[in-house]
Amino acid sequence: MTGLFANATIAVGLIIAIWALIHLVIGRPMSRALHASQLVLAAMFVILAIGGIVQMTSTDREFARLEFVGYLVLSPLIPIGSWWWTRGDRTRIGSAIVMVVGLVMPVLILRIQQVWAGSA
């Protein structure tokens, strides 16, 4: 569950957060590209979920499998929910929501990796 794709997903989340912060600071309305970036992040989490579940089925290590699957399955809903919430809101508040999601998603990946490692 630790790998290049997980690191790339963390990087994308942080890039989106920085991009949204720039929009927020300069007072620029949220662009369509920034809005669409949430769907890119959600797609990356879907791929991460599929890969994580496949890895889980091929190991017999002891870890919290239900918690792991729960994180993987529910994680894509956060950027999708953010996309839905901000779809009609192109203001600075929309940029702030995208920024928060961009910061939360990398932390979520770290938590998923902790569960995978078997630590509490």
Question: What DSSP designation does 66 have?
Answer: H
- Per-10-residue mean pLDDT of the chain, 120 residues long, equals 88 97 90 93 96 90 90 95 88 91 96 86
**Structural domain range at position 42:** 4-117
Instruction: List the structure tokens of 21.
Output: 């912060």
Task: Give the number of domains in the chain.
Answer: 1
At 120 the pLDDT is 60
Q: What is the pLDDT of residues 36-63, one digit of tens each?
A: 999 999 999 999 999 999 999 988 888 8
At 88 the pLDDT is 83
